Protein backbone atom coordinates (compact mmCIF):
# COMPACT_ATOMS: atom_id res chain seq x y z
CA UNK A 1 0.00 0.00 0.00
CA UNK A 2 1.33 3.42 -0.92
CA UNK A 3 1.72 6.16 1.63
CA UNK A 4 0.37 9.65 0.97
CA UNK A 5 3.87 10.81 0.06
CA UNK A 6 4.54 7.88 -2.30
CA UNK A 7 1.32 8.32 -4.31
CA UNK A 8 2.13 11.87 -5.58
CA UNK A 9 5.68 10.71 -6.36
CA UNK A 10 4.32 7.79 -8.43
CA UNK A 11 1.88 10.14 -10.16
CA UNK A 12 4.73 12.54 -10.97
CA UNK A 13 6.83 9.68 -12.37
CA UNK A 14 3.94 8.47 -14.53
CA UNK A 15 3.26 11.94 -15.87
CA UNK A 16 6.96 12.54 -16.52
CA UNK A 17 7.03 9.33 -18.55
CA UNK A 18 3.87 10.38 -20.37
CA UNK A 19 5.33 13.83 -21.00
CA UNK A 20 8.41 12.30 -22.63
CA UNK A 21 6.20 10.18 -24.89
CA UNK A 22 4.08 13.17 -25.87
CA UNK A 23 7.11 15.35 -26.61
CA UNK A 24 8.41 12.56 -28.84
CA UNK A 25 5.05 12.20 -30.62
CA UNK A 26 4.82 15.94 -31.26
CA UNK A 27 8.45 16.04 -32.42
CA UNK A 28 7.69 13.28 -34.93
CA UNK A 29 4.68 15.24 -36.16
CA UNK A 30 6.80 18.36 -36.65
CA UNK A 31 9.29 16.51 -38.87
CA UNK A 32 6.48 16.14 -41.45
CA UNK A 33 5.99 19.96 -41.69
CA UNK A 34 2.26 19.82 -40.98
CA UNK A 35 -0.19 22.74 -41.05
CA UNK A 36 -0.38 24.86 -37.90
CA UNK A 37 -3.95 23.70 -37.17
CA UNK A 38 -2.81 20.08 -37.17
CA UNK A 39 0.04 20.84 -34.75
CA UNK A 40 -2.22 22.78 -32.37
CA UNK A 41 -4.86 20.06 -32.40
CA UNK A 42 -2.20 17.46 -31.69
CA UNK A 43 -0.80 19.47 -28.78
CA UNK A 44 -4.24 20.00 -27.24
CA UNK A 45 -5.02 16.32 -27.69
CA UNK A 46 -1.84 15.31 -25.89
CA UNK A 47 -2.47 17.78 -23.06
CA UNK A 48 -5.99 16.44 -22.50
CA UNK A 49 -5.51 12.71 -23.04
CA UNK A 50 -1.89 12.28 -22.07
CA UNK A 51 -1.46 14.75 -19.26
CA UNK A 52 -5.01 14.27 -17.95
CA UNK A 53 -6.31 17.81 -18.25
CA UNK A 54 -10.05 18.24 -18.69
CA UNK A 55 -9.94 20.95 -21.32
CA UNK A 56 -7.47 23.20 -23.07
CA UNK A 57 -7.26 26.24 -25.29
CA UNK A 58 -4.42 27.67 -27.32
CA UNK A 59 -4.40 31.40 -27.98
CA UNK A 60 -1.83 32.93 -30.33
CA UNK A 61 -0.79 36.51 -30.94
CA UNK A 62 -2.01 38.01 -34.18
CA UNK A 63 0.55 39.24 -36.74
CA UNK A 64 0.62 42.72 -35.19
CA UNK A 65 1.08 41.17 -31.71
CA UNK A 66 -1.81 43.25 -30.38
CA UNK A 67 -4.38 40.50 -29.79
CA UNK A 68 -4.50 36.98 -28.40
CA UNK A 69 -6.78 34.93 -30.62
CA UNK A 70 -8.22 31.46 -30.03
CA UNK A 71 -6.66 28.98 -32.45
CA UNK A 72 -7.60 25.64 -30.88
CA UNK A 73 -10.05 24.75 -28.12
CA UNK A 74 -11.36 21.49 -26.72
CA UNK A 75 -13.48 20.46 -23.74
CA UNK A 76 -15.34 23.74 -23.19
CA UNK A 77 -19.09 24.24 -23.39
CA UNK A 78 -20.45 25.29 -26.78
CA UNK A 79 -21.08 28.76 -25.34
CA UNK A 80 -17.52 28.92 -23.92
CA UNK A 81 -16.06 27.87 -27.27
CA UNK A 82 -18.14 30.45 -29.15
CA UNK A 83 -16.96 33.25 -26.84
CA UNK A 84 -13.33 32.13 -27.13
CA UNK A 85 -13.47 32.19 -30.94
CA UNK A 86 -15.33 35.52 -31.09
CA UNK A 87 -13.64 37.52 -28.30
CA UNK A 88 -9.88 37.98 -28.75
CA UNK A 89 -7.97 39.53 -25.87
CA UNK A 90 -6.34 42.86 -26.63
CA UNK A 91 -2.83 42.92 -25.15
CA UNK A 92 -2.73 46.64 -24.33
CA UNK A 93 -6.29 46.78 -23.02
CA UNK A 94 -7.26 43.55 -21.28
CA UNK A 95 -5.50 43.11 -17.94
CA UNK A 96 -6.01 39.38 -17.37
CA UNK A 97 -4.13 36.16 -16.71
CA UNK A 98 -3.69 35.36 -20.40
CA UNK A 99 -2.16 38.71 -21.34
CA UNK A 100 0.04 38.70 -18.24
CA UNK A 101 1.52 35.34 -19.22
CA UNK A 102 2.22 36.55 -22.76
CA UNK A 103 3.83 39.75 -21.49
CA UNK A 104 5.94 38.04 -18.80
CA UNK A 105 6.77 34.84 -20.67
CA UNK A 106 6.31 32.94 -17.38
CA UNK A 107 3.82 30.14 -16.57
CA UNK A 108 1.05 30.96 -14.11
CA UNK A 109 -0.90 28.41 -12.05
CA UNK A 110 -4.15 29.53 -10.43
CA UNK A 111 -5.48 26.85 -8.04
CA UNK A 112 -8.55 28.83 -6.94
CA UNK A 113 -9.71 31.82 -8.91
CA UNK A 114 -12.18 32.84 -6.20
CA UNK A 115 -9.46 33.43 -3.63
CA UNK A 116 -6.78 34.80 -5.97
CA UNK A 117 -5.78 38.28 -4.73
CA UNK A 118 -4.54 39.23 -8.22
CA UNK A 119 -7.80 38.64 -10.05
CA UNK A 120 -8.88 41.53 -12.27
CA UNK A 121 -12.31 42.57 -13.50
CA UNK A 122 -11.55 41.08 -16.93
CA UNK A 123 -10.57 37.80 -15.24
CA UNK A 124 -13.93 37.80 -13.43
CA UNK A 125 -15.79 38.30 -16.71
CA UNK A 126 -13.85 35.50 -18.41
CA UNK A 127 -14.39 33.24 -15.38
CA UNK A 128 -18.13 33.90 -15.47
CA UNK A 129 -18.41 32.89 -19.12
CA UNK A 130 -15.83 30.09 -19.15
CA UNK A 131 -16.63 28.29 -15.89
CA UNK A 132 -13.03 28.69 -14.75
CA UNK A 133 -11.54 26.06 -12.50
CA UNK A 134 -7.96 25.51 -11.42
CA UNK A 135 -5.89 26.21 -14.49
CA UNK A 136 -2.39 26.71 -15.75
CA UNK A 137 -1.33 29.33 -18.28
CA UNK A 138 1.81 28.38 -20.19
CA UNK A 139 3.52 30.81 -22.56
CA UNK A 140 4.02 29.31 -26.01
CA UNK A 141 7.51 30.16 -27.20
CA UNK A 142 9.86 29.62 -30.08
CA UNK A 143 13.47 30.64 -29.44
CA UNK A 144 12.41 32.69 -26.38
CA UNK A 145 9.86 34.66 -28.44
CA UNK A 146 6.38 34.38 -26.92
CA UNK A 147 3.80 33.49 -29.56
CA UNK A 148 0.79 33.01 -27.30
CA UNK A 149 -0.52 31.01 -24.37
CA UNK A 150 -1.79 27.51 -23.72
CA UNK A 151 -4.32 27.08 -20.95
CA UNK A 152 -5.15 23.58 -19.75
CA UNK A 153 -7.73 23.21 -16.96
CA UNK A 154 -8.20 20.49 -14.33
CA UNK A 155 -11.07 19.59 -12.07
CA UNK A 156 -10.63 21.06 -8.55
CA UNK A 157 -10.05 17.69 -6.84
CA UNK A 158 -6.89 17.15 -8.94
CA UNK A 159 -5.52 20.69 -8.82
CA UNK A 160 -2.95 20.16 -6.04
CA UNK A 161 -1.47 17.12 -7.78
CA UNK A 162 -1.18 19.02 -11.05
CA UNK A 163 0.41 22.05 -9.38
CA UNK A 164 3.12 19.82 -7.92
CA UNK A 165 3.65 18.04 -11.22
CA UNK A 166 3.85 21.25 -13.20
CA UNK A 167 6.33 22.69 -10.73
CA UNK A 168 8.50 19.61 -11.16
CA UNK A 169 8.39 19.09 -14.92
CA UNK A 170 7.80 22.53 -16.47
CA UNK A 171 4.98 21.84 -18.89
CA UNK A 172 6.29 24.64 -21.08
CA UNK A 173 8.85 22.18 -22.47
CA UNK A 174 5.99 20.40 -24.22
CA UNK A 175 5.07 23.36 -26.35
CA UNK A 176 8.03 25.68 -26.36
Residue 153 host element (H or E)? strand 145-153
More confident residue, 171 or 84: 84
Among 3.40.50.1980, 3.30.930.10, 3.30.450.40, 3.40.50.2000, name the CATH number for the domain at 6-175. 3.30.450.40
DSSP structure string for 38-66? HHHHHHHHIIIIIS--SEEEEEEE-TTSS
What's the chain's average pLDDT?
75
User: Which run of H or of E encompasses 109?
Assistant: strand 108-110
Q: What span, in angstroms and rounded, lies between the C-alpha atoms of 120 and 15?
A: 32
Inform me whether the pLDDT recorded for 163 exceeds 90.
Answer: no
30: left (phi over 0), alpha (psi -120 to 50) or beta: alpha
Q: Across residues 72-101, what is the average pLDDT?
A: 93
**Which pLDDT does position 167 carry in this prediction?**
41
Report yes or no: 95 and 120 within 8 Å, Cβ to Cβ. Answer: yes
Q: Provide the pLDDT for residue 66.
A: 96
Q: What is the DSSP letter of 173?
A: H
Cβ contacts of residue 76 below 8 Å, gap of 6+? 55, 57, 84, 130
Confidence (pLDDT) at 122:
93
User: If we measure between CA atoms, which residue out of 64, 78, 69, 72 comes closest to residue 46?
Assistant: 72
- Between 83 and 128, the higher pLDDT residue: 83
pLDDT over 90 at 103, yes or no: yes
Work out the average pLDDT over 9-23: 59
Domain ranges of the chain: 6-175
pLDDT in tens, 42-55: 778 877 777 777 88
Specify the higher pLDDT residue, 161 or 87.
Answer: 87
Q: What is the pLDDT of residue 141?
A: 81
Question: What is d(CA 175, CA 7) in angstroms, rounded to the nearest whole number?
Answer: 27
Amino acid sequence: MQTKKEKPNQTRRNLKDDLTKHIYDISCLLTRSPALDEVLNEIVGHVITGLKYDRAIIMLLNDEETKLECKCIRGFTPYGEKRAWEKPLIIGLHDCYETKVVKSGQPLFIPDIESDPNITEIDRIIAKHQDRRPFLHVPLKVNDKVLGAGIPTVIPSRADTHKTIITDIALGVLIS
